[in-house]
Amino acid sequence: MTLCVNCGVELDKGLSICPLCGKDPGKKVEEVHKSKNSPTDIIHLQKRENRRYLWELSGIIAFSGIAACTIIDLLISKELKWSLLSDISIATAWIILTLYLFAYKRTWIIVTLLLITVLTSLFLLDLIAAGGSFFIPLGLPVTIAVFVSAVIIILLYKSVHMNGLNIIASGFIVLSGFCILIETIIDKYADGIVDFRWSLIVAVAVLPVALVLFFYHYRLKKGNRLDSFFHI
């Protein structure tokens, strides 16, 4: 039996290059324990490299799109008009992808940076397209409402011991409150008067579903987790 000194995988006789790490085994079996590399380390390294390659490729595509939109706008309009909107949108999408690729395990960092990115993008779009008329009364409160709802669900998920159907039920309740808040913001912006209609219908329809899920989770399934409930 031959083991690769770089990754520890067992090799067939006669192999001069390890099929897992692509390196020459190079040493005898007794020297394998001196190596600090393992198959798990190599897999993590490959995932990091793949994320970096995806980030580089997405950057090339994003900035190529920005350059193309800008050049076409200059050729047609002789000045920057609609390309500013597309450039901001493309750049925002690329920044969001970057945050996901490199900070997806750091929940609060990615949530904070996402909030800043989205608010900045909406402010710039409003400044260019509408002269700053909708960001403060509409864009800002709606965006904050979305992120507050997401933060509530994240906190519930992290604080509750059994993350099963109760998390889905809590999400439905948060969703109903979010709908009421959104209708309030839109009504105040559009008419200056709050007139609850569709949001109350959503809340009334969602509440029984949430209660059934709570009952099923705590009474019938005794707090089973989602992975055990769906046999994952």
Q: Which domain holds residue 10?
A: 1-37
pLDDT at 37: 53
Q: In the predicted model, is pLDDT for residue 6 greater than 90?
A: no
Contact 166, 160 (CB under 8 A): yes
> Residue 90 domain-assigned?
no
The single residue listed with the structure tokens 């059934």 is 212
Per-residue model confidence as pLDDT tens digits over 175-194:
999 999 999 999 988 888 88
Could you tell me which residues come within 8 angstroms of residue 203 by beta carbon, excluding any fewer than 6 positions away?
176, 177, 179, 180
Please state the domain count of the chain.
2
pLDDT value at residue 210: 92
Residue 181 lies in a domain: yes
Does residue 55 form part of some domain? no
Domain presence at residue 110 = no
What is the pLDDT, as a whole number, of residue 35?
A: 47
pTM for the full predicted model? 0.69
Q: What is the pLDDT of residues 24-78, one digit of tens each?
A: 766 544 444 444 455 556 666 677 788 889 999 999 999 999 999 999 999 998 8
* Residue pLDDT, tens place only, 96-108: 999 998 888 888 8
Q: What pLDDT does residue 174 have?
A: 93
In a domain, 56, yes or no: no
In a domain, 229, yes or no: yes
74: in domain: no
Is 81 part of a structural domain of the chain?
no
Mean of the per-residue pLDDT values for the chain? 83
pLDDT of residue 190: 86
Q: What is the pLDDT of residues 151-179, one digit of tens each?
A: 998 888 888 766 778 888 999 999 999 99
Query: Which helix or strand (DSSP H or E) is residue 73 part of?
Result: helix 39-77
Rg for the chain (alpha carbons), in Å? Answer: 26
Least confident of 4-13, 131-140, 141-150: 4-13
Q: Which residues contact 18 (CB under 8 A, 6 or more apart)?
A: 4, 6, 7, 9, 11, 24, 25
Report pLDDT for 130. Answer: 77
Per-residue pLDDT for 205 more than 60?
Answer: yes
